[in-house]
Amino acid sequence: MKVLTFGEMMLRLKPTGFERVLQTNNFEASYGGAEANAAVSLALLGHDSAYLSKLPENALGEAAIGTLRKFGVDTGRVLRGGPRLGMYVFEKGNGARGTGVVYDRAGSSIATAEAAEFDWKAILDEVGIFYFSGVTPAISDEIEAALKEALVYCQANKITVVCDLNYRGKMWSPEKAQKVMHELMPFVDVCIANDEDFEACLGIKAFDGDLSNGIDQIEDFRDGMKEITTRYPNCKVVASVLRNINAVEQSDWMAILYKDGKFYDTPVHDINVMEGVAAGDAFGAGLLHGMLENLEPQESIDFAIAASVLKLSVSGDLNLVSEAEIRNAMQKGSNARLSR
């Protein structure tokens, strides 16, 4: 079954090591974006994964496409043209200094694309699962309109819709997000909601905002997850990641899956964090893997959280790990031994 993910892909610039932008002569370059990251994860897990966006016809656009192709993603549906590739600067934090992001995504090829450019009948041909995150409708009104059309088409054609709410405060306000997501949720079959997503995207109070203390609020999360399925009955599955972020470098992570009225909790992973970004996309892809492989709910969510915490050990936005490595990370202490 083919999975199509839809969103924006950007050039990511990261100063060498822990350097700040103000002092560096050098940026490590990579390419990513929430939905592209998920597509790469799925391809690496052996699934038929395709990506949809609009990318410029210049060297940066080619490099973004090349990145996707390298890891096995089908890029045949990507629209080409428009003014530029979005960009973001990633300043990796440590100690007392949090990680910082400078977005420069306005005016990108996807942000200036028109809804009419998307021929959904052709694009969704042979697609079984359609995946997007909250970033996608936040890109522009045109992209939101295009997305809405896609969701209508999916529902009419029994294509499963998966949405990671993925709130981005630098892209839109809670008011705008709630207004838009309220229109889109009735088409969503599987919903991923983490941390502030509940409140910012849906206006549901499930988390008090204290990331050092997420796991302790597990009951509130459960209430929030249930509430989603109550409000949007089309949405039958909800998954959430809960975290106690103790330091930039140290976190406890767990996840909950809510399905058919039951909650499935994963063990808590207590981990050192090398690079705290894109773990949510890895989680989404892990969840989709469970759907595509028809895993049992418990195994499915255990797989997803292991995929997610593994991402924290990989440089860049892409979760460059294999299924075997994820299965290994599902075992406590599995990373201690050097196999040689």
Q: Indicate the residue type of 30.
A: S
Q: For 71-196, where are the alpha helices, taking DSSP H only?
A: 120-123, 135-139, 141-156, 174-184
Give the largest Cα separation in the chain, rounded: 55
Q: Give the binding-site size for a copy of itself (rule: CB under 8 A).
A: 88
Position among 1, 46, 81, 94 found at the interface with a copy of itself (CB under 8 A)? 94
For 162-176, b/e burial (b = at least 16 CB within 10 A) is: bbbbbbeeebbeeee
Name the one range near a copy of itself by CB under 8 A: 114-122, 200-208, 225-233, 327-335. 327-335
Q: Is 106 an interacting residue with respect to a copy of itself (CB under 8 A)? A: yes
Give the footprint of a copy of itself on residues 69-88 (CB under 8 A): 69-72, 83-85, 87
CB of 271 to a copy of itself, least distance (A): 5
Q: Is 173 an interacting residue with respect to a copy of itself (CB under 8 A)? A: no
Position among 1, 103, 141, 179 found at the interface with a copy of itself (CB under 8 A)? 103
Give the footprint of a copy of itself on residues 31-70 (CB under 8 A): 58-60, 62-63, 66-67, 69-70
Decide: helix, strand or coil at residue 233. Answer: coil
Please tell me the distance from the alpha carbon of residue 204 to that of residue 220, in angstroms, as a whole number: 10
Q: Is 274 an interacting residue with respect to a copy of itself (CB under 8 A)? A: yes
> Following DSSP, what letter does each residue of 85-134 receive, concatenated?
-EEEEEE--BTTB--EEEEE-TT-TTTT--GGG--HHHHTTTEEEEEEET
Among 143, 207, 218, residue whose Cα is nearest residue 180: 143
Rounded to an integer, what is the distance from CA 275 to the centroid of its chain?
Answer: 15
Give the footprint of a copy of itself on residues 225-254 (CB under 8 A): 245-250
Residue listed under structure tokens 């700040």: 20
Q: What is the DSSP letter of 216?
A: G
Position among 122, 156, 324, 338 found at the interface with a copy of itself (CB under 8 A)? 338
CB of 252 to a copy of itself, least distance (A): 12
Q: Is 25 an interacting residue with respect to a copy of itself (CB under 8 A)? A: yes
Q: Is 268 an interacting residue with respect to a copy of itself (CB under 8 A)? A: no
Give the footprint of a copy of itself on residues 296-325 (CB under 8 A): 306, 309-310, 312-316, 318, 320-321, 325
